[in-house]
Structure 1
Amino acid sequence: MRRTFLRAAAALAVLAAAPGSALAEAAPTGPAAAFQVYLSPTGSDANSGLSPEQSVRTLARAQQVLVAAKPTTDVEVRIKQGTYVAGQTDWRFYVPGHSISFVPVDYEPGDNASGIAGRPVFTNVKEDGAYKPGWWFRVMLPSDPADPLHGGGTTSVHFRYLKVRNYTNGLSFDGQTGRTYVDEQNWRIKPSAGVNGNSVFGMEFRDIGNKHAPGATGYAAILTTTSSDNRIENNAFNYVENTGNQASLVHGLYITHYSSGNRVTRNKFTYISGDPVKVRNQSNYNSFEHNTFVRTGRQAHYKGEFCDAACVAANPGAQRQCASFHNRFFSNKLGRNYAGSANLPTWKLKPEGLTNAGGGRCSIPAGDKRLATGYNTY
């Protein structure tokens, strides 16, 4: 009998292995029933989605099934291997206290990549011969004010062993859209409690950015905006690239605006035209460890940035922000820059200063600093 996939609130105990390899997460400690919805490339959105024989074809339809069913348990969206041609999915369905997991149809807890028949592939739709600009998937706040998570909280959305290709941007954990995030003094403020407690494991993001899907700005393969306590582990970020004067704007991972307590471990970043890891504006206590970087970035492997008073004066319309602090960048395998011409520096802060909080309302705890690094090697 199939073991059901428990929510990943339990810590991921993992084996040491190369990023993006057959590394497995720890098996859960006990069974739990889950409400299951099935996807297949040959399914139909006219189906119920409640059995493999009644598979639906799109993630949007899977969300409709869940909204109608109103499950009160963990949820698994089980995805049959094959290629799904799909535009952007905005996800707003959650079960408070439970998880939503997107996994291959044959995935079992504790499996590594060799335990499944392969990773299902999501590729973008084309328009006039080119891939359409947009995101693959956005985890967003519910729009219904009556929803228990309308103001944010633990959304517990988990992704396992999928491939995402040919989008301008990949996966967004978005705790701000539709909310007020600037006050009367033009300071950036926290707009919600966030979309928190999610995880991404064993995924591959490839051909992301406006080099591959033109018509909009590429920002990241994974973007967290007011999204905390996430685990991003054992993923591959390949060819995340913008072109022209936007080449530096796209990142493998962009952690921004009150996104704290995120753990980023054992991932591999390859050919990233912007700095592979960027952190912005009061995103604190994040850790980046045991990652590998190959041909990435222009300024540094880790870029810490915020907009202070001088930045606002130089950029009309920008909002005032504060530094992030107590972030860690340790034991990573560093590499050469995107051009391949030189070793990429470990880190860069803008504006400079390890204890520069940003002035005004901003502060860093006494004795703390924006970033600690160590044991990184080329």
Structure 2
Amino acid sequence: MKSHTSLAVTVACLATAGIGLSSPAGAQARPTPTQDITVYVDDAAAPKAATADSRAGQGSFQASTVAEAQRIAEASRARNVTIRLAPGVYPPIDWSYGGRGGRITVEGAGAASIRTSADGSAASGAADASAPAATVVRCSRAASEYGVRVRAGDANATVSGMTIEKCRHGGVYVKGASSVKVRGNVIRYIGSKHVSQGDPKKEGFGGVHLQGASRATISDNRFFYLENNGRSPAGMHGVYAANNADRTIVENNRFGYISGDPVRFRHGSDNARVTSNRFWRTGFAAIVSDWRFGGGSEKCGKGTVLKNNIAGNRTYTNKKYYPDASRNTVKATMRKWGKGDFEARNIGGCNPAPITFAGGNKWTGSRPW
């Protein structure tokens, strides 16, 4: 795979794409204001693909880096922006442009295919050599806390089709957006255990970290080896939805080897649905938890429903999970809520219960995929 690190950028309108762009090939181009644009990042097949996907009023452009793609989007004032990443290895992505009420889509060519060993681990993260070339976002600098950050105001956001790895704080971070979709990604080797550079006191939060982002759908992803090894191993999660991140759907994902609870809701993140996921050797207090910090200033969540999930009956540290009758003790179980430190006096304390069952949740002694 290629490594996409060039800072020198030449942007060309794709006149051959057949969508009404007239700038000659190789010329510097400023997009005309439009509803929709697609920017192909280092994709040699862009003209052909753009012809197949073109619609009235849509523009198509090519860039050498994601940073240049964002400059194109800002200049275009487009409402809907799709960034299509060719196969290769990319540095971390930090996206901040958003058209009001539009959608920002960051789309890779596909995530790595992971071979799993008999115990359900990711076979040391080895990729399937027969799989097509993947789009990989890799954090290689100490300052690269997240693989993909989207902070685009009230715009909708989609992140799909890539592998995100070797980041200290998290894989995907979305703040404030509506109708968030994170799907079809492999997010692996996240947290202080996997990043030797930088401040060792800084540890990871989540494979997907939502802050006040409503109506998020996290689906068809694989989360492997999300681990902190410092003061806060329990602070790392697969999906971490905080600060009124309401109506989150976590569906049909695989979670393995995560040092904290694989799904964590915090501070008034209400009405989530966690369905048809598979968990193996993951979790600290629970498979799904609702937690409050900040000296009592944070509020309980409510309305979260668990349905049709299958979870390995051992935590990340190989302790046994207990039946749900023990939810108000310090023993780990399928669901749990509390505040501050994980100890008996802090468990529970929410009325109504933030998390309820809707049937079909099961424990297993062998990996469920």
Same fold (TM over 0.5): yes
Q: Which residue of 1 aligns with 2:83?
A: 77
Match of 1:90 among 73, 94, 104: 94
Q: Which residue of 2 aligns with 1:173?
A: 174
Structure 1 segments unaligned to the other structure (5+ residues):
5-32, 43-49, 108-115, 142-148, 176-194, 313-318, 358-367
Q: In 2 relative to 1, CA 61–272 (structure 1 residues): closer, same or farther, beyond 3 Å? A: same
Match of 1:212 among 184, 194, 200: 194
Q: What amino acid sits opposite 2:42 in the alignment?
A: S
How far apart are 1:132 and its partner, in Å?
Answer: 4.8
| Larger strand proportion of the pair | 2
Q: What amino acid sits opposite 1:245 in the alignment?
A: R
Conserved? CA contact 1:156–1:197, under 8 Å: yes
Conserved? CA contact 1:261–1:285, under 8 Å: yes
Q: Which residue of 2 aligns with 1:181?
A: none
Match of 1:56 among 61, 64, 75: 64
Match of 2:134 among 93, 108, 119: 119
Q: What amino acid sits opposite 1:204 in the alignment?
A: V
Q: Which residue of 1 aligns with 2:317?
A: 339
State how 1:126-145 maps to structure 2 within 5 Å.
126=141, 132-141=143-152
Q: What amino acid sits opposite 1:134 in the alignment?
A: E
Q: What amino acid sits opposite 2:173 in the alignment?
A: S
Mapped pair 1:356 → 2:350: yes
How far apart are 1:356 and its partner, in Å?
Answer: 2.1
How far apart are 1:164 and its partner, in Å?
Answer: 0.4
Q: In 2 relative to 1, CA 348–164 (structure 1 residues): closer, same or farther, beyond 3 Å? A: same
Q: In 2 relative to 1, CA 157–120 (structure 1 residues): closer, same or farther, beyond 3 Å? A: same
Q: Which residue of 1 aligns with 2:266?
A: 280
Q: Which residue of 1 aligns with 2:354?
A: 370
Tell me the distance in 1 between the aligned counterparts of 2:220 and 2:362: 19
Tell me the distance in 1 between the aligned counterparts of 2:139 and 2:156: 25
Q: What amino acid sits opposite 1:161 in the alignment?
A: G
Mapped pair 1:248 → 2:249: no
How far apart are 1:60 and its partner, in Å?
Answer: 2.2
Conserved? CA contact 1:299–1:345, under 8 Å: yes
Conserved? CA contact 2:37–2:60, under 8 Å: no
Q: In 2 relative to 1, CA 346–91 (structure 1 residues): closer, same or farther, beyond 3 Å? A: same
Mapped pair 1:302 → 2:317: no
Tell me the distance in 1 between the aligned counterparts of 2:257 and 2:42: 31
Q: Which residue of 1 aligns with 2:246?
A: 260
Q: What amino acid sits opposite 2:171 in the alignment?
A: G
Mapped pair 1:198 → 2:199: no
Q: What amino acid sits opposite 1:138 in the alignment?
A: R
Tell me the distance in 2 between the aligned counterparts of 1:97 and 1:244: 41
How far apart are 1:96 and its partner, in Å?
Answer: 2.3
Structure 2 segments unaligned to the other structure (5+ residues):
1-16, 20-34, 45-58, 112-130, 322-331, 340-345, 364-369
Identity of aligned residues (%): 24
Q: Which runs of 4+ in 1 moved over 4 A?
A: 351-355
Aligned length: 276
How far apart are 1:118 and its partner, in Å?
Answer: 3.9
Per-residue Cα deviation, 1:124-172 (whole angstroms, up to 9, x for no partner): 124xxxx55511122225xxxxxxx4xxx3x211122111010011111
Per-residue Cα deviation, 1:294-317 (whole angstroms, up to 9, x for no partner): 11012110111113xxx62xxxxx
* Matched residue SS, 2:147: strand
Conserved? CA contact 1:301–1:346, under 8 Å: yes
Q: Which residue of 2 aligns with 1:292?
A: 278
Tell me the distance in 1 between the aligned counterparts of 2:144 and 2:107: 25
The normalised TM-score by structure 2 is: 0.68
How far apart are 1:51 and its partner, in Å?
Answer: 6.3
Higher relative contact order (CA 8 A, sep 6+): 1
How far apart are 1:257 and its partner, in Å?
Answer: 0.8
Tell me the distance in 2 between the aligned counterparts of 1:218 and 1:64: 30
Conserved? CA contact 1:354–1:370, under 8 Å: no
Conserved? CA contact 2:246–2:270, under 8 Å: yes
Q: Which residue of 2 aligns with 1:8?
A: none
Conserved? CA contact 2:337–2:350, under 8 Å: no
Tell me the distance in 1 between the aligned counterparts of 2:283 and 2:173: 21
Mapped pair 1:324 → 2:301: yes
The normalised TM-score by structure 1 is: 0.67
Q: Which residue of 2 aligns with 1:229?
A: 215
Q: Which residue of 2 aligns with 1:99?
A: 103
Q: What amino acid sits opposite 2:263 in the alignment?
A: V
Q: Which residue of 1 aligns with 2:38?
A: 36
